[in-house]
Chains A and B, each alone.
Chain A
Amino acid sequence: MRIGIVSTAVPLARGGARLIVDWLEDKLREYGHAVEVVYIPCTEELPEILPQMAAFRMIRLDHYFDRIITTRPPAHVVQHPCKVVWLLHHVRMFYDLWGTTYSPVPDNEAGRALRTAIMAADRTALGEAHRLFANSHVVANRIRRFNDLESEVLYPPILRAEVFRSGDYGDEIVSICRMERHKRQHLMVQAMASTKTDVRLRLCGPTLDPGYVEALRESARQHGVADRVKIESRWISEEEKIAILESALASAYVPFDEDSYGYPTLEAAHARRSTVTASDSGGVSEFVTSGITGLIVDPDPVALADAFDRLHANRTLAQKLGTAASERVTTLGIDWTTVIGKLLS
């Protein structure tokens, strides 16, 4: 089958939304399909959004491909008689973030008109899809609530789960994740000031916001925990990631209202590491059950510190939760055979 994977992208920016496309491409080829990836550049500046969506919709794909799979929004507005949408998230400032401080869309006539237009376009684009998948229950619920459509949850696996290794449970709570404000690494740094054990924190990942990383470093100095907090602001290779997780105590992932469980959670689970997350982290709780596959605490430095200390003081607990996390992957059917089967159905 000739398959096109269509996604929007920020030029030169890497991250989870790119990986899902790259990995899907590899896997579809492995299954014997001809695949082309089409990355369309896209900005989220308000006056530019609708014209860009109109342009995406004009791209002719039907004579080149038997099937199109779209991922990152608003790529799903492209047209094709056999369009499969695997929605990773909405353009959230018009949806769940609308009316919060996280949304730049003004609550005035122009802002509301733009929001109505985007929602109408999405309703059409999602409604016409041959199949509609969401990467999590969080996104599926939003599709139901905002777009009045039913979707099926299809969890994104990582490319090669088998490469992860599990060694002794060490001193480090690790966060291998893009460093951005809404990922809230600052809560973890602040938490370190309230810990009572020798637990250490390691933050690593690239950023689009160097100011945030600088603020993290400054916070570590101010709280007097710089010697126990390691910050590596760069892309982390797969090999490094494997090594960091192999000897970690656990992973921490406390984004604000994330759409899915997130690759950091899944990668940690493949390395038999549990995840410490927050009660307002959204889709992470689809994977993490507190006390079973990780710890869920209030989005508060003191509560996080307590969770870090509990794991540091009790390696048996860290191991037990980590092992259960690893088993959770199988229970949820997070694997490529499932994904390819569904996307090609």
Chain B
Amino acid sequence: MVPFVHGGAEELYIHLIRNLRQAGVDAEGMRIPFTWEPAERLIDEMLIARRLRLYNVDRVIALKFPLYMVPWPDKVLWLLHQYRQAYDLLDVKQSNIPDDDRGREIISAIRKADNTAFSESRHIYTNAPITAKRLWDYNGVQSGILRPPLNDPELFLGGQSSGYVLATGRVNSAKRQFMLIQALRHAPGVRLVVAGPPDSASDADYLRQLAIQEGVEDRVTFELRLLSRQELAQRVNEALAVAYLPFDEDSFGYCTMEAFCAAKPVLTVSDSGGVLDIVRDGQTGVVVAPDPEDLGSALRQLAARPAHSAALGRAGREALESARLTWPTTVEKLLS
């Protein structure tokens, strides 16, 4: 874990524990701070995980690198992601591991340790098809797909649109809220609300300055903090649409599920990865190229045709319902 960072993975962790308890299981979560810079550090991090010792539990459910390496005879992995910079991100040259002999040793150590951890696990689940595919391609390991359900669907009941487009989720450069602000110049009159916790103060400052630079600050409302679930749901329920543009996300994303639960269409982009498994252009939302002008045009369309937008949102809700993601069935699988 990264101290003080709160996003989808942290929500999943909290709700997994809560739902295990609701199922009558005595459960507790444990998290150790993780540091991946410099790359040499990754070796230490794996050693730490490998040297920790558990007892007084029957089953371990492990979620993240490198803590899933903790030794335990009855261990089930629910892999949210591997250390991608040693795998697919390395292939696209987005890795922090240096391209030299030592870097190759580090990568080899990560892959070997991963394979050991995978081979010791009783079951391996992944959170999305893309995670499962990577695990198969790189490690030759088969896994079941267990998509994380929405934690509090009862809050996202939908409602009358107040006409704004809402950007939710953690705020950072990979989630690309900046592109929506740039798009506003091409969508006169459209209002944007950005509501979510920034990873750092500089992420927040950058967006605020950008809005001023672009001359759209009067049409952007910033709520750059961790909103309570009730506050967040209220913003979603009253939105015209939700915009969610992560770069190459693995899963649907909570932002997508929250929007669809509330029957709001989702605006996303063609390189947003797993979001595209459920957001279909013209069916449940709008998918355009990751480009401010194209996004601007999409924003204009959504705002100009509110009835059509609402219909897309309703189709989104149906798509989510047919995926049948619930906590009781998820917990049952993790305990089997």
Contact = CB atoms under 8 A, between A and B. Distances in A.
A336 interface: no
B47 A52 contact: no
A11 B4 contact: no
Contacts of A64: 2-4, 33
Top 6 A-B residue pairs of the complex, sorted by shortest distance between their CB atoms? A55-B51, A64-B3, A60-B35, A36-B3, A43-B53, A55-B48
Nearest to A39: B30
B57 A34 contact: no
The listed residue with most B CB atoms (<10 A of its CB), out of A13, A41, A59, is A41
A39 B17 CA distance: 15
6 contacts: A4-B3, A41-B30, A41-B54, A58-B48, A59-B48, A60-B35
B51 A54 contact: yes
A41 B71 CA distance: 12
Given A10-B56, A34-B4, A65-B3, A58 B44 contact: yes
B52 A40 contact: yes
Contact of B33 (A13, A38, A41, A52): A38
Interface string A88-119: 00000000000000000000000000000000
The listed residue with most A CB atoms (<10 A of its CB), out of B4, B52, B54, is B52
Contacts of B47: 55, 58
A44 to B, nearest CB: 9
A241 B35 CA distance: 42
B51 A52 contact: yes
Interface residues on A, range: 20 to 34
Nearest to A10: B56
Interface in B1-34: 2-4, 26-28, 30-33
Contact of B55 (A11, A58, A65): A11
Contacts, number: 69
Interface string A37-51: 011111101001001
Interface in A40-84: 40-43, 45, 48, 51-52, 54-55, 58-61, 63-65
A11 B54 CA distance: 7
Nearest to B60: A11
Interface residues on B, range: 20 to 34
A100 B150 CA distance: 54
B53 A42 contact: yes
A12 B32 contact: no
Contacts of B54: 11, 41, 43
Interface of A: 2, 4, 9-13, 34, 36, 38-43, 45, 48, 51-52, 54-55, 58-61, 63-65, 208
B32 A40 contact: yes
Nearest to B31: A38
B52 A55 contact: yes
Given A12-B57, A36-B4, A65-B3, A41 B44 contact: no
B113 to A, nearest CB: 15
A45 B53 CA distance: 10
Contact of B32 (A11, A34, A59): A59
A63 B35 contact: yes
A10 B31 CA distance: 14
A57 B41 CA distance: 14
A42 B51 CA distance: 10
A12 B3 contact: no
A65 B33 CA distance: 11
A61 B53 CA distance: 20
A189 B279 CA distance: 67
A38 B27 CA distance: 16
Nearest to A14: B28
Contact of A13 (B4, B35, B56): B56
Given A55-B51, A58-B48, A208-B56, 8 more contacts: A10-B55, A11-B54, A11-B57, A41-B53, A45-B53, A59-B33, A60-B35, A64-B3
